[in-house]
Amino acid sequence: MFSRPLRDPDTPIRETDTDAAIARLSAVRKHYLQDPFISLFISQSQFIPPRPPLINLGTYVRSKIIDDLIIDWARVMTNSSTPFQIVSLGAGSDTRFWRLAVSLVLNIFMLCRDKRPNSLGWATKQRHNYILRGIDLRNLTDFAQTTSLLDPSVPTLVLAECVLVYMTKEQSNALLKHLTDTFSCVGAIVYEMYGLNDDFGRVMKANLKTRHLTLPGIDAYVTLNDQISRFLHTGFTRGHALSLKTLRYDYVESEEHQRYVRYNFKKREQPDDGRLNKLEFLDEVEELDLVLNHYAISWGLKPSELLEETIQKGTADWGVTRKTSTIE
């Protein structure tokens, strides 16, 4: 009698990369986003059906805010005539290098792929340098060897989209601490679920368990303040965190998001005729708000002495700008 070989326990994590890529493809096809590259990363993409409006809108808010933070980082560095480099952890099928390379001059863009099978490659075109490494981000020695390819004196922006939550608190904190110990100026953007200690969170974790997915880091950072504290305890001097729900209503450009008028007597929200509402009809408004309120984007900064001086003078800052008033 033959027993089936044990499946790589990291395979379900890698498969989440496909989920994210398909969600982005759907959002692009429904005209929430522009991305001419995403279909090239998905096998037989022409046969993949669209995702529900709830997924499309959530993908849009996530992508829009992270892109805004990256572009604002580039603005701050460009204003000070400072070159910079970007590191994407667990990047999977991220197309951001090619999308940004169209409009930004990047000295080095580096992808540490933890969600795909091991691979190693690089390509250089003019001043756009792209380095691809296949490593286990839980192994700090491997990560340190990879970051040694970068110039520690150059301001470095690190992206971690749904990565740290799959690591233990000790592993992710060690990784962040290594960044602040290594680079004289470093910023980090983290996107992940949080606050899963309620009924919604318990259902989410149960659903993930059916896919053999666990979240070792989820209980360490239950609140937005916990997300901020993670940065401050690992060498960053500034930290911010907002839920996707708040980001959707208050920080996405007014012409790009759906405003809502609350009818107290019906306990419901009615969308206006904004651009996103014209793309698809969204019936699950309360469900969308519930989902978005369990995902957060946080960002931390350890500035160089020069950048700290400009921040203190009020001539430079890094973050997202509030676009609309808060809905009570």
Residue 137 marked ligand-binding: yes
Per residue in 9-33, is it b (16+ CB within 10 Å) or e — as a string?
Answer: eeeebbebbbebbbbbbbbbbbebb
Helix (H, G, I), strand (E, B) or coil at 258: coil
* DSSP designation for 324: S
Which residues does 85 contact at the CB level (< 8 Å), separation at least 6? 106, 107, 108, 109, 110, 150, 151, 154, 155, 156, 157
Q: How many helices (H) and strands (E) does the chain have?
A: 11, 10
Residue 90 marked ligand-binding: yes
Distance (Å, rounded) from C-alpha 232 to C-alpha 167?
A: 19
Residue 307 marked ligand-binding: no
Contact (CB, 8 A) for 319 and 75: no
Residue 136 marked ligand-binding: yes
Please state the residue numbers annotated as binding site for S-adenosyl-L-methionine: 62, 90, 136-137, 161
Please state the residue numbers annotated as binding site: 62, 90, 136-137, 161
